[in-house]
Each structure stands twice: as C-alpha cells, then as structure tokens.
Structure 1
Amino acid sequence: MTVIRSTDARRTETPNAVMTTLASPTQGGTANSLWRVAMKEGGQGPLHVFDVEQIWAVLSGRATIELGDETFAVADGDTVVLPAGMARRITAEGAFEAVVTAPGGARVFKVGDPEEARFTPGWIA
C-alpha cells in the first residue's frame, strides 16, 4: 500500500487551468496518474491530442468538450471517457472542476505540432 500525503500533491498552473496531482508514478506506488483540474469561467485548453484514454469525472460546474468533429456539454456528476488519439479541447462554461485519471507517462501534443514536440505533462508524470 502507498499513501500519498496531501502535502505531496503537486500544483501546476497554466494559462488555462490549475492541475493538482494527487497520484502519479513519480510520487510512487502506481503506474497511473490522478489529478484535479480547476478552470475559471471561460478557461479554454488548446486543441490537443493525448496518446492514451482519459477519464474525466466532473465535480462542479459545466464545460464544453470538443472531440473530433463533435461537441458535448458536461456538468456536475457527469463522467466522460476521452479516447486516445482524438483532437480535443475543453472550455469552462463557468467555474469548472474535475478529477481526471490516465496512465502515467501519457504523452500530449498540440494539433499542428511536430512529433518531436510530444511530451508528458508534469501533472501526469
């Protein structure tokens, strides 16, 4: 068993959101990552692609998810499974918070970036 103390949570702030890493391979004891995403009203991530499936559980607020050619509205209590390899963008319709899980080491890139630009975000590592 591994206990990851709240004092060991990592906080990463981007222009779009604050990610708080709750569990990850670099924190020990797991091959998966779990993090909380908090976005302010109007916050919007870039159009990007992950190489792994992600599961998002909406804790509060509402958001719009662009996935491929479709757009989905999500709200408190919804859970979304985002498949690997599809372009996506999340836009907060108000203050929005979710808990997300994916395999540790997941790699991401912005649509249009070259393959060598792929990286593992700090909140997933």
Structure 2
Amino acid sequence: MSVIRSTDARRTETPNAVMTTYASPTQGGTGLALWRVEMQAAGSGPRHAMDTEQVWTFLTGTAVVDLDGEELALAAGDILVLPADLPRVMRSENGFTAVVASPTPSMAVNPETGDRVAPPWIV
C-alpha cells in the first residue's frame, strides 16, 4: 500500500497546461498513472498519439478534442475514453480541469516522425 500526500504530488508545467501527478510508478503506483490536467484558456496540446488507452474525467470548463480528424466537444462531468494509437489534439477556449488515468508504462508518439517519449507526469 502506498500513501501519496498532497504535498508530494509532482507538478509538471508545459506551455499550455499544468499536470499534477498523483500516482505513477515513481510515485507509489505500479501499473496505473493518475494525474490532473489544468489547461489554460486558449490552450492547445500538441498533436500526438498515446500507446495506451486513457480515461479523462472533465471537472471544470470545456474542451474540444480532435481524435484522428473527428472533433468531440467536452464539458464538466463528461468522461472521455481515448483509445490507444489514434492521433489527437486537445484544445480549450476557456480552459478546463480534468483527471486522467492511464496504464503505465505509456509513451506519447509523434504521428509524423514516429518519435516516442514518456511524458514526465506518467512515469
């Protein structure tokens, strides 16, 4: 059993969002990562795919995800199950907060180059 205190949550800032890791293999988890995403207004993540499924629970705000060319509008209370290996872009005009769960290990893949990286909030 692991207890991760709120003071031990790890924060990772990107150009458009802050990820707060609650559990991951380096923070008490074994096969599952759990983190909070706080995207700022007019924010947009990079186009990428993940090699594992992700479950997003939107707590506040609104977002649009372009999932392999299909746009989906999301709002507080919505759950989004993102399948593995499909390119996506998440953006928000007004900002949002979501909690995300994903199996680990998990890699982000650039669909144009094939480059792979482990996002620091998942490791």
TM more than 0.5: yes
Matched position secondary structure for 1:72? strand
CA RMSD of the aligned region, Å? 1.0
Distance in 2 (CA, whole Å) between partners of 1:105 and 1:13 is 20
Q: Is the 8 A contact 1:61 1:93 kept in 2?
A: no
Which range is displaced more, 3-12 or 103-112?
A: 103-112
Q: CA deviation at 1:92?
A: 1.0
2:26 maps to a residue whose letter is T
Q: Is the 8 A contact 1:10 1:123 kept in 2?
A: yes
Q: Are residue 35 (structure 1) and residue 35 (structure 2) matched? A: yes
Distance in 1 (CA, whole Å) between partners of 2:118 and 2:65 is 21
1:62 maps to a residue whose letter is T
Q: CA deviation at 1:62?
A: 0.2
Matched position secondary structure for 2:85? coil
Aligned length: 123
Q: C-alpha offsets along residues 46-89 of structure 1, whole Å, 9 cap, x if unaligned?
A: 11010000000000000000001200000000000000000000
1:121 maps to a residue whose letter is P
Distance in 2 (CA, whole Å) between partners of 1:18 and 1:119 is 18
Matched position secondary structure for 1:27? coil
Cα gap change, 1:29 to 1:91, in 2 (>3 Å): closer
Q: Are residue 104 (structure 1) and residue 104 (structure 2) matched? A: yes
Structure 2 residue runs of 5 or longer lacking an equivalent are none
Q: Is the 8 A contact 1:16 1:45 kept in 2?
A: yes
Q: Flag the structure with higher helix content.
A: 1
Equivalence for 2:77: 77
Matched position secondary structure for 1:100? strand
Which range is displaced more, 101-110 or 75-84?
A: 101-110
Which range is displaced more, 28-37 or 53-62?
A: 28-37
Equivalence for 1:59: 59
1:7-46 to 2 correspondences below 5 Å:
7-46=7-46
Q: Flag the structure with higher strand content.
A: 2
Equivalence for 2:121: 123
Q: C-alpha offsets along residues 86-125 of structure 1, whole Å, 9 cap, x if unaligned?
A: 00000012121100000122001222123xx201111000
